[in-house]
């Protein structure tokens, strides 16, 4: 079984590439982030033609998440119970579904913006709600994973230059502590380092030739429980999909399972 996560940075803008990638990659389950489209405009029919069902939680031009599956789609949950919301609004940042033998969350963790910004406090509160929402499945006997754009680099090795991020979000002790607290539910990072290269980054800014210079970050993560981690046979970051015209600023992260 092949399962993946990908921040597509607008499914409308990326649809031709998404459809082509699904056909060529052999992916069974794909967790999407930043759909940036209302649910009634999500390309359900185009995906169905390729054999994928869609569980979508989206409201418009910002955020939006989905789970695409060609191995079944059941017990869908949209949003986090206890989501703290931001400025009085609950944003579409999480969706969960059972896909064959595996249950997954697709998550788009708040960016945080700046350390002294209210969005940063919201980010840490959102992590607390995520931990509460996944704890039961994380400790269970069914393969389970929380996949997506975490907007946190777990270690200094997960950014191209730690000094370049001094005083910025994504690398602060509090954000990394939130990740560690999430792992305490029984989850672990199932994409090891190094892979086929020294720095398996998953995100590169569009500006200042960040991708050609490999000035990236590893912020798209697959956290699985013990049954999920034990089933992993391979994993990789599909850097090729970050290349060329019309690419997302994130690359897909792919995990193969023997389940």
With a cut of 70, say whether residue 198 has pLDDT above it.
no
The CATH number of the domain holding residue 96 is 3.60.10.10
Q: Is 161 annotated as a binding residue?
A: no
Asked if residue 204 belongs to a domain, the reply is: yes
Write the DSSP assignment of 150-199 as a string of letters. -S--SSGGGBS-GGGGTT-TTS-HHHHHHHHHHHTTT-EE-S-SSSSSS-
Q: Is 34 annotated as a binding residue?
A: yes
Active-site hit among 52, 108, 120, 160: 108
Asked if residue 259 belongs to a domain, the reply is: no
Q: Is 7 annotated as a binding residue?
A: yes
Region 229-254 average pLDDT: 96
Task: Using CA atoms of 62, 14, 145, 119 in order, give the dihedral in degrees to the nearest 10.
Answer: -20
Question: Range with the lowest mean pLDDT among 5-14, 145-154, 189-198, 249-258?
Answer: 189-198
Question: Range with the lowest mean pLDDT among 117-131, 183-197, 238-252?
Answer: 183-197
Asked if residue 258 belongs to a domain, the reply is: no
> H helices of the chain, where?
11-25, 44-49, 118-138, 173-183, 226-231
With a cut of 90, say whether residue 199 has pLDDT above it.
no
- The domain total for the chain is 1
Region 68-88 average pLDDT: 97
pLDDT at 197: 55
Q: Is 205 annotated as a binding residue?
A: no
Asked if residue 108 belongs to a domain, the reply is: yes
Active-site hit among 137, 149, 158, 220: 149
Q: Which residues pair with 224 in a beta bridge?
A: 145, 188
Asked if residue 43 belongs to a domain, the reply is: yes
Structural domain boundaries enclosing 225: 2-250
pTM over 0.95: yes
Under a CB-based contact definition with an 8 Å cutoff, are residues 8 and 33 in contact? yes
Q: What is the pLDDT of residues 97-150, one digit of tens each?
A: 999 999 999 999 999 999 999 999 999 999 999 999 999 999 999 999 999 999
Q: Is 111 annotated as a binding residue?
A: no
pLDDT at 200: 82
- 250 counts as catalytic: yes
Asked if residue 191 belongs to a domain, the reply is: yes
- 117 counts as catalytic: no
Active-site hit among 203, 220, 223, 250: 250
- 149 counts as catalytic: yes
pLDDT at 196: 53
Phi-psi region of 145 (alpha: psi -120 to 50; beta: other; left: phi over 0): beta
């Amino acid at each position: 079984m092949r399962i993946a996560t990908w921040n597509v940075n607008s499914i409308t803008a990326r649809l031709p590439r998404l459809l082509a990638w699904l056909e060529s990659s052999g992916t069974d389950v794909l967790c999407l982030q930043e759909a940036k489209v209302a649910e009634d405009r999500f390309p359900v029919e185009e995906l169905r033609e390729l054999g994928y069902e869609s569980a979508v939680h989206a409201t418009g031009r910002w955020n939006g998440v989905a789970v695409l599956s060609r191995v079944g789609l059941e017990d869908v949950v949209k949003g986090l119970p206890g989501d703290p919301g931001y400025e009085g609004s609950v944003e579409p940042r999480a969706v969960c579904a059972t896909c064959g033998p595996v249950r997954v969350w697709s998550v788009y963790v708040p960016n945080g913006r700046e350390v002294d910004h209210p969005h940063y406090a919201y980010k840490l509160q959102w992590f607390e709600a995520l931990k509460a929402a996944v704890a039961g499945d994380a400790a269970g006997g069914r393969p389970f994973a929380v996949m997506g754009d975490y907007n946190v680099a777990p270690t200094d090795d997960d950014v191209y230059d730690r000094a370049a991020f001094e005083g910025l979000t994504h690398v602060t002790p509090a954000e990394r502590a939130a990740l560690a607290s999430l792992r305490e539910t029984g989850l672990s990072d199932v994409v090891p380092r190094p892979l086929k290269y020294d720095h398996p980054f998953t995100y590169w800014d569009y500006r200042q030739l960040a991708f050609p210079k490999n000035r990236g970050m590893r912020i798209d993560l697959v956290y699985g429980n013990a049954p999920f981690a034990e089933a992993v046979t391979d994993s990789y970051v599909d850097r090729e999909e970050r290349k060329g015209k019309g690419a997302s600023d994130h690359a897909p992260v792919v995990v193969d399972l023997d389940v």
